[in-house]
Structure 1
Amino acid sequence: MSAPLVISIIFIYFFGLLGIASLTAKQTDTRGFFVANRQSPWYLVAFGMIGSSLSGVTFISIPGAVYYNQFSYFQVVLGYLVGYAVIALVLMPLYYRLNLISIYGYLEQRFGTASYRTGAWFFLLSRLIGAAFRLFLAAMVLHIGIFKAWHVPFELTVVLSLFLIWIYTFRGGIKTIVWTDTLQTAFMLLAVGMSIYLIWQELGWSWAQLSDTLGRSGYTKVFFWDDWTSPDYFLKQFWSGAFLALVMTGLDQDMMQKNLTCRTLQDAQKNVFWFSLVLVVVNFAFLLLGALLYVYAQTKGITLPTNEAGKVITDNVYPMLAFNHFGVLAGVCFLLGIVSATYSSADSALTALTTSFTVDILDAERRLEEADRKRLVRRVHIGMAAVMALVMIVFNYINDQSVIQSLFKVAGFTYGPLLGLYAFGLMSKRPVHDRWVPLVCVLAPVFCILLNQYSAQLLWGYKFGFEILIVNGMLTFLGLWAISYPQNTD
């Protein structure tokens, strides 16, 4: 694909987003920015959340990871269904009953101000790193496809990517994003479907031949029961998926902020149930695409990108094939898909970070009048975009593995305290010494980092995968129990 074509597609795409933003941002106050005045149709939220949940990580990293991990990720996806059921039946009623703008307001009511601020800070850290990882992929694709040939530094590509997001989110906030995410999800699903179809067409095989080749390729193994110490073992992956869905959606201001824009609790629950079912199908399609990419490369004799140690850089495989080996139509589909997938996640993350910092940390809802809140929101919005850019640039220098692996590894450490806080709050009525909660929530992930590093030596060869999140949550729960005391019944 030529650079002028790529630039033209991106600018036409963003002009479309700006058009939606101009229509949805009219007369938007800060409550419209935060929760869209709870007027969003549930089916729009459900459809748009698919794109936000998947992001560019799914679009590039999950197909790429098939090279080393086969279809083992689908075990995690099946676990998602359990996590989403808990969100719909337990967490959503809680959030709607308390009429929350920020879901971490629950922690203030249950434990106190220190717990509330701790939960908010852990979300900010988690989502900031997660969103930066996701957006990193889109910036990398733009850099490989356009700017690298022009000798433009990667740092400038990052700044441009975030500037485009900031333009169409700074006025309308979540009210705009509910609508833009719908458009972006449609482009993303169209892109993956077209990619699968066009690769199959270019290979020139019948469906029977394709199915037989994929089965013999060694890439399509789903269930792993052989080695319980392996990170791919089924039970570890399944329950990790359940808890990952619970924390990365149900305890995440970004994802819950969209749900809280629905008119009623029943609408929000319908949204979660339908969204979770569609998500299973879509994730399987991405895994199928990954197997097709490697079968295509083998069939055509294409050399895969590797690092200095000779290890395949799996996150670069799909972009490399799309830009250099597929036809123009397939390349256009890929470009629209990666931009849509990544920006549908990053734009909502930027809005959620702005909301949480403004409401939870700066307490603007209670301290400031509407005019002052608007000015503060815009300043925070710019600041969050700048910090996200910095994290992306740093990650570019240290990344040496699949981004999906990095993302879930970080989630295991940063979302664990949130899991422990909410579990203790919902499963126990014991008060805690609020001032000690931050210490507990810091010590638990620190211990888990050490445990993860030395588990093979300490636990008879056992290697932690995504289930480190569960351990982290349990340690936080036990720590909270240790600083709690019996409820006064007088």
Structure 2
Amino acid sequence: MSPAILLSFLIGYFAVLIIIAFATSKKSSDNSTFFLANRNSKWYLVAFGMIGTALSGVTFISVPGEVGAPSGNQFQYFQFVLGNAIGFIIIATVLLPLYYRMRLTSIYSYIEQRLGHISYKTAASIFLISRTIGSAFRLYLVVIVLQRFIFDSYGVPFWATVLISLGLIWSYTFKGGLKTIIITDTLQTFFLVLSVFLTIYFICNSLDLSIPQAFETVKNSGYAKIFFYEDFLSNGFHVSKALLGGIFVTIAMTGLDQDLMQKNLSMGTIKEAQKNMFTFTGVFVILNIFFLSVGALLYVYATKNGIEIPLDHITGKPRTDFLFPEIALNHLATIPAIVFMLGLTAATFATTDSALTALTTSFCVDFLGMAKKENLNNKNAVKTRHIVHVGFSIVMFLVIILFNAVNDESVVKGIFKVASYTYGPLLGLYSFGLFVKNRGVHDRLVPIVCLLSPALCYLLNAYSTTLLGGYVFSVELILVNGLITFVGLLLISKKTDLQTRF
């Protein structure tokens, strides 16, 4: 596939997004619009757009690539997806009603009212760190593909590709914020879903398979095993670990994450927000089945055509993240290649643009106090918001550069590994606030607890085989992290006469 054709496509794609951004922010570009889209978003648009935000380029590339990884992953990721679905239902029935009762702009305001000012700042800081790292990892994935298949041909260095990508995202999010994101994410999710089905069609066509034959091929491929019950202690894929991890990773990374909750809070009523979550959950599960099927078909295609897993330029090791782009861009025709780039670009930028908006919102509301009416829409506040938006773009750039220098595994593994450490304290904070009645905390000690918990988890994970009789942690480590934080908060808690109202 010619790099010039791919570059032309990329330019045209972002031109459309920028036009949408200016159209949606033409009447209003104040902070009320940027933060919550004036609380009049349509639930069906948010539900559809959230699919692209939640899936990202990691699901588009890394999940199919992991299906045939040397570690024998197969369809084990679907165990995690089922846990995700349970987590989404808990969010819709427990957390969303709480957020709507309190009319929150930043969900971390709950922690201030329940535990105290320092606890609130701690929770907001955890989100800023967690989301910045997670979103940078997701953007990194599409950047390395753009670098490998487009910008290397023009001698453009990796750091410049990162800057170009972030600059394009900034160009269509800085003005309209969430109001723009809801429209652009809907469009990008449409492209993402379309590309998944078209990719399956094109691969089936290349393998001379009808759609029914393709699913029979996937079933008999040796890649379609979903549930893993063997070796509970040493198997990180064990069904119980994946389900538990899926539930609590979802609660933390979605329900306690300003990014995805910001979209839910932009609707008029709790009923609309819950309809959004339930609809989104069903589509999310179904789409992941198709992504895993794409992975099996890719490995069947690779075996038939003698294609090896591409090597990483830096480490020289096989990199499953590169198999899908390698086949789509170098072994299929021009139309399938463009469809692949459409899906990858839509998936990754739908996640990153949303994250930049949420990070800006959280910092402006939680640290600069812009939720107050007198501070919300004055000219200085809007100017400050622009500066914050640029600031987070720069931070994300630095994280990507660092990650590129040290990463030697698939991005999906890296994201959930980091999330286990960074989001765990949020689980502990909200669990204490929701389930412990008539007790407060010594507010100044909360940051210490939230720092000690990930540190203890790191040590526990590093020596688990020795300390726990051969046990190997996977994504369920986030539950342990939250539990340690919860116990730590109990230890620094004190009885209070005030009844918990939340």
Q: Given that residues 201 and 211 in structure 2 are in contact (C-alpha distance below 8 angstroms), is that contact kept between their aligned partners in structure 1?
A: no
Q: Spell out the pairing of 1:14-413 with structure 2 (5 A cutoff).
A: 14-26=14-26, 27-68=28-69, 69-207=73-211, 209-229=213-233, 230-307=235-312, 311-366=317-372, 368=375, 370-413=378-421
Query: Which stretches in structure 1 are left out of the alignment for 5+ residues?
Result: none
Hey, what's the Cα distance between the residues in 2 that align with 1:29 and 1:207?
49
How far apart are 1:216 and its partner, in Å?
Answer: 3.5
Give SS of 1:431's match.
strand
Letter in 1 for 2:110: Y
Measured after TM superposition, the shift of residue 487 of structure 1 is 2.1
TM-score by length of 2: 0.95
| Residues 13-39 of structure 1: per-residue CA shift (max 9 Å, x gap) | 111111111111121210110000101
SS in 2 for 1:368: helix
- Root-mean-square deviation (Å): 1.4
Q: Give 1:364 shift.
A: 3.0
Measured in 2, the distance between the counterparts of 1:207 and 1:124 equals: 44
Deviation, structure 1 residue 151: 1.8
Deviation of residue 208 (structure 1)? Answer: 5.6
Q: Bigger shift: 155-164 or 140-149?
A: 140-149
> What's the CA shift for 1:309?
7.9
Distance of 2:471 and 2:316 partners within structure 1: 27
Residue 446 (1) aligns with residue 449 (2): no
Q: 1:206: Cα distance to partner?
A: 4.0
- 1:320-348 CA-to-partner distances (Å, cap 9, x unmatched) read 11111111111000000000000000000
Distance in 2, matches of 1:58 and 1:410, equals 17
Which residue type is aligned with residue 260 of structure 1? L
How far did residue 149 of structure 1 move?
Answer: 1.7
Q: Distance in 2 between matches of 1:49 and 1:364?
A: 25
Aligned residues with identical type, % of pairs: 52
Q: What letter is aligned with 2:482?
A: G
Q: How many Å separate the matches in 1 of 2:9 and 2:268? A: 35
Q: Higher mean Cα deviation, 302-311 or 359-368?
A: 302-311
Task: Supply the distance in 2 between the matched residues of 1:309 and 1:46 (Cα, whole angstroms).
Answer: 39
| CA distance, structure 2, for counterparts of residue 255 and residue 283 of structure 1 | 18
**Separation in structure 2 between the aligned mates of residue 435 and residue 133 of structure 1, nearest angstrom:** 32
2:457 aligned partner, one-letter code: C
Q: Give the superposition deviation at 1:3.
A: 1.7
Deviations 1:78-112 (A, max 9, x none): 11121111111111011111111100000000011
CA distance in 1, matches of 2:155, 2:473: 41
Q: How many Å separate the matches in 1 of 2:355 and 2:271?
A: 25
**How much has 1:460 moved relative to structure 2?**
1.2
> Residue 495 of structure 2: SS of its match in structure 1?
coil
Number of equivalences: 490
Per-residue CA distance 1:286-315 (angstroms, 9 max, x = gap):
110011111100001112213588753101
Q: Could you report, residue by residue, the CA deviation over 1:170-207 in whole angstroms, capped at 9, with x for unpaired residues?
A: 00001100000000000001111100110001101345
| Aligned equivalents of 1:309, 1:166: Cα separation in 2 | 31
Q: Which residue of 1 aligns with 2:432?
A: 424
Deviates more, 1:200-209 or 1:465-474: 200-209
Q: Aligned partners of 1:88, 1:165: CA distance in 2, in Å?
A: 29
Q: Which runs of 5+ in 2 are unaligned?
A: none
| TM-score, scaled relative to structure 1 | 0.98
Check 1:20–1:489 CA distance in 2 against 1; reply closer, same or farther (3 A cut). Answer: closer
2:241 and 2:57 mapped to 1: Cα distance?
25
What residue is the counterpart of 1:474 in the other structure? Answer: 483
Contact 2:454 2:481 in 1 (8 A): yes
